[in-house]
Amino acid sequence: MATTLFRGPVLQGKWNRAGVTGYNLEQKDSAYSVQTSDLGKSFTSKSGDITFTLHTHGTGYTYTFTNTGEDASNEISITAAGAGEMSFGGSTGITLTNTKATSKVGDFVTLHSIGSVWALMNIQGTWALS
C-alpha cells in the first residue's frame, strides 16, 4: 500500500498560467501588492523571500498565502497598510511572517478583513506577528 504525505491546504481552482482572468491560484516569487480585484485568490510562493502588501482593508476580502518552497528555503511576509491592522492571537501588528528558518512546505495562512483589521481565519506553521 502506498503512503502519501501531505501538508498544507488543498488548493482548489485553476492556475493563471496565461495571464487571463477567471483563475484564482497565482504563483508569486517577488514582492506583490495585493489588489482588491484579487478577491478570493490563493497565492503561492516557492523561491526566495517574498513580501505581500495588503491593500487598505474593507469588509469582506479573503486571501490565502501558501509556502510551497522546500523546508527552510522560503520566507513569506504579509504586510498590512497600517500599524495595528493585523490581528493574531489577541495581538495586533503590521506584518505577519513565516520565517525561512522555520518554514515548511505547505505552511499557510488565510486572512479575512473584518471591520478595521485583517483577521486570521486559518493557519498552519510557525508565523510571527510584528
Give the pLDDT confidence of 56-95 residue by residue, as tens digits: 878 889 999 999 999 999 999 999 988 888 888 888 899 9
CB neighbourhood size of 117 (10 A): 17
pLDDT at 17 over 70: no
pLDDT at 4 over 50: no
**50/10 Cα distance (integer angstroms):** 21
Higher pLDDT, 92 or 10: 92
Terminal Cα-to-Cα distance of the chain (whole angstroms)? 45
Read off the pLDDT band of 9 (50, 70, 90): low
pLDDT at 40 over 90: no
Q: What is the pLDDT of residue 129?
A: 92
The residues, any chain, with a CB within 8 Å of residue 110's CB and separated by 6 or more, are 9, 62, 63, 64, 65, 120, 121, 122, 123
Higher pLDDT, 1 or 18: 18
Average pLDDT (17-23) is: 58
**What would the CATH number be for the domain defined by 31-129?**
2.60.120.640
User: Which amino acid does the sequence have at 33?
Assistant: S
Computed over every residue of the chain, the mean pLDDT equals 84
**19/98 Cα distance (integer angstroms):** 27
Read off the pLDDT band of 20 (50, 70, 90): low
